[in-house]
Amino acid sequence: MAQKMEREIAVLSSRGQLTLPASLRKRLKLKRGDKVNVYDVNDQFLLIEKVEETPLEAILERFQQTAKRKKLTPEDLADALRDVRKGLYKEIYAKGA
């Protein structure tokens, strides 16, 4: 079975950003912020595919955005995690006592 191949022109900006044509973004269902894998094939051309985000990656991304928005430090996050763990420990093990 022959594979379909179409030529599209992308523009490289002075900052090294590659702008994909709208028709390609539409076909790949790409939107702002989406990630793509880019492959160099024998220094001749690039293959691009959309990166499908796993549920865990989606949770991590939201967590990182929230921490950044609230300007939380790594110490703040460690303290919050410690508090959650203590609460869970009490909830789980205090029931049997």
Distance CA 83, CA 58 (A): 24
**Residue pLDDT, tens place only, 54-97:** 888 888 888 889 999 999 998 998 898 899 999 999 888 886 55
Residues 44 and 67 in one domain: no
- For residue 11, give Cα distances in angstroms to 8, 27, 41: 10, 18, 19
pTM, to two decimals = 0.46
Domain with 42, as residue range(s), is 11-50
Residues 15 and 40 in one domain: yes
